[in-house]
């Protein structure tokens, strides 16, 4: 949803009474495409592919100060960092697995 500009959604994220905010981001922390890792705030700017206008750690710090929501970043390792609208087959599969896990956990 936020694509390269998650900062455009800060007012929505901080003005609602969310318990959790989860960012999913393409990262480089492994040579294995599709590997999933929950990142801590210290790791985010190290592993992020930096396609965002603002630093993800800065965005998360702002949300932490402006709301009561717990923030998590789920990184999915990519091998190709060329920005386009198409996900690789491996990333699509992992994204669908994540969606299923979240749906199962919240239903």
CA-closest candidate to residue 46, choices 69, 25, 71: 25
Number of domains present in the structure of the chain: 1
**The dihedral formed by the CA atoms of 29, 50, 68 and 98, expressed in degrees to the nearest 10:** -50
CATH number at residue 74: 3.40.50.1450
Q: Is residue 80 part of a domain?
A: yes
Structure tokens at 87: 């996900």
Taking the model in full, what pTM does it have? 0.76
pLDDT tens digits along 10-67: 888 888 889 999 888 888 887 889 999 888 877 776 666 555 556 788 888 899 999 9
Q: Is residue 78 part of a domain?
A: yes
């Amino acid at each position: 949803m936020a694509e390269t500009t998650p900062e455009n959604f800060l007012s929505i994220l901080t003005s609602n009474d969310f318990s959790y905010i989860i960012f999913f981001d393409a990262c480089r922390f492994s040579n294995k495409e599709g590997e999933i890792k929950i990142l801590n705030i210290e790791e985010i700017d190290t592993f992020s592919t930096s396609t965002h206008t603002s630093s993800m750690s800065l965005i998360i710090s702002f949300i932490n100060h402006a709301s009561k929501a717990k923030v998590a970043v789920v990184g999915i390792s990519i091998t190709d960092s060329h920005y386009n609208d198409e996900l690789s087959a491996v990333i699509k599969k992992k994204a669908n697995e994540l969606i299923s896990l979240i749906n199962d956990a919240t239903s």
